[in-house]
Amino acid sequence: MRFLAQIADKIRKRAATRGFSCDCCGAELFDYPQNRLCNQCRETLTICDREKSCPKCGRATIAQGVCLSCKRALPKFDKGFSPFVYVGETAALVNRIKNGNRRLAYFFGEKMADIFMETNARFLKNDVGRVEANEKNAPEGGTGALLLILPVPAHATKVRERGYNQAADLAEIVCERLQRFGFEAEYDPDVLQKRKETKMQKHLGVANRAENVSGAYYVHKRAACRGKTIVLVDDIMTTGATGSEIAERLLGAGAKEVILLVAAALPEQK
Ligand SMILES: [Zn+2]
Ligand SMILES: [Zn+2]
């Protein structure tokens, strides 16, 4: 069964890099795969303006400066990035990744990688193919990749039901793109695990969200985190409580810093 699943995965990946139609509506495209979505679909998306986003969590803000959510409870991750705002059509599209349209993960994953690369060029390999920072900060005796790309894990039951974890799809695409552009990155879906089933964050009040995720995640491969800059990948950021909870675990396991990278983040709420 595992073997068949691997073949199915290969076919899915190959199909995603070919074809001449919009990954969202199926309209014919003449510039695929440069553009995975048609103009009409792209125009419905709300791009997160970095000039007007929270310098801590990366969500779109009403005014300049740190958002209300971060002021209320400063997230434990070092910084958050998100190419899109989780509103309207954008939210509907992002939700489709977990509701069966795995192909859409390519569009969003690539945009996530792009925003990361634009803002984190310090992780780019230099001319001799080495990241200098890596040599200084590498764990003793370690020569592993500088960036560790981890998906927010889903509970095993959920993955069985759905057949996949959308955050893992996104993380894998992010990592591939970072590597292609000369970043020293490694993807590992097994470092983090989810211990308990949590309620959907969006159905809970702000106060209950941190409690809902508390203790839900644990670091299964602690040694892998030591000295690393970790890019934690998820589809959506609402309060940031999940990212904050996991970042705390990762930093506790010896990670150097944790960057949260999501497809879309809820904008600052008044
Ligand atoms: Zn379209
Ligand atoms: Zn914020």
> What is the Å distance from ligand 2's center to 267 Cα?
9
Beta bridge partners of 124: 183
Please check the confidence at residue 233 and state whether its pLDDT lies above 60: yes
Ligand index nearest the alpha carbon of residue 42: 1
Taking the C-alpha atoms of residue 213 and residue 128, their distance in angstroms, rounded to an integer, is 43
- For residue 270, being part of any structural domain is answered with no
Please give the Cα distance from 152 to 174 (Å, whole number).
Answer: 13
pLDDT exceeds cutoff 70 at 95: yes
CA of 67 to the centre of ligand 2 (A): 4
Domain presence at residue 151: yes
Model confidence at 69, in pLDDT bands (50, 70, 90)? very high
Q: What percent of the chain has pLDDT over 70?
A: 88
**Domain tally for the chain?**
2
Q: Mark whether 128 and 181 lie in a shared domain.
A: yes
Helix (H, G, I), strand (E, B) or coil at 193: strand
Q: Which range among 4-18, 99-113, 119-133 shows the weakest confidence by mean pLDDT?
A: 119-133
Q: pLDDT confidence of 17, banded at 50, 70, 90?
A: low
Buried (b) or exposed (e) across 189-218, using 16+ Cβ within 10 A?
eebbbbeeebeebeebeeeebbebbeebbe
Residues 35 and 61 in one domain: no
- Domain co-membership, 62 together with 162: yes
Asked if residue 107 is part of any domain, the answer here is yes
- Residue 1 is predicted with a pLDDT of 61
Is residue 106 in a domain? yes
Is the residue at 4 inside a domain? yes
Same domain, 258 and 151: yes
Instruction: Specify whether 63 is located in the same domain as 193.
Output: yes
CATH of the domain at 203: 3.40.50
Looking at the CA of 41, which ligand is closest? 1
Distance between Cα 35 and ligand 2 center (Å)? 30
pTM above threshold 0.85: yes
Give distance in angstroms: CA of 28 to centre of ligand 1: 8
Are β-strands 229-237 and 217-219 bridged in parallel, bridged antiparallel, or unpaired?
A: unpaired
Q: How far is CA 175 from the centre of its chain?
A: 10
Closest to 186 measured CA to CA, from 136, 216, 221: 221
Question: Ligand 2 mean position to 172 CA, how many Å?
Answer: 26
Q: Quote the pLDDT of residue 121.
A: 85
Q: Are residue 127 and residue 229 in the same domain, yes or no?
A: yes
Note whether 223 and 209 are same-domain residues: yes
Q: Which domain holds residue 12?
A: 1-43
Q: What is the pLDDT of residue 140?
A: 44
DSSP 260: E
Pairing status of strand 79-81 against strand 84-85 = unpaired
Q: Ligand 2 centroid to 266 CA: how many Å? A: 10
Residues 74 and 166 in one domain: yes
E-strand stretches of 108-228: 147-151, 185-187, 192-194, 217-219
Q: Are residues 31 and 90 in the same domain?
A: no
Residue 242, in any domain of the structure: yes
Q: What's the mean per-residue pLDDT of the chain?
A: 87
Residue 144 pLDDT: 58
Same domain, 39 and 58: no
Residue 6 belongs to a domain = yes
Query: Are 14 and 97 contained in the same domain?
Result: no
Which of 124, 165, 127, 129 lies closest to 147, judged by CA? 124
User: Of the bound ligands, which one is closest to the alpha carbon of residue 29?
Assistant: 1
Judge if 16 and 66 occupy the same domain.
Answer: no
The token duo for 234 is 């998820």
Query: What is the Å distance from ligand 1's center to 52 Cα?
Result: 28
Residue 240 Cα to ligand 1 middle (Å): 30
The answer to whether residue 67 sits within a structural domain is yes
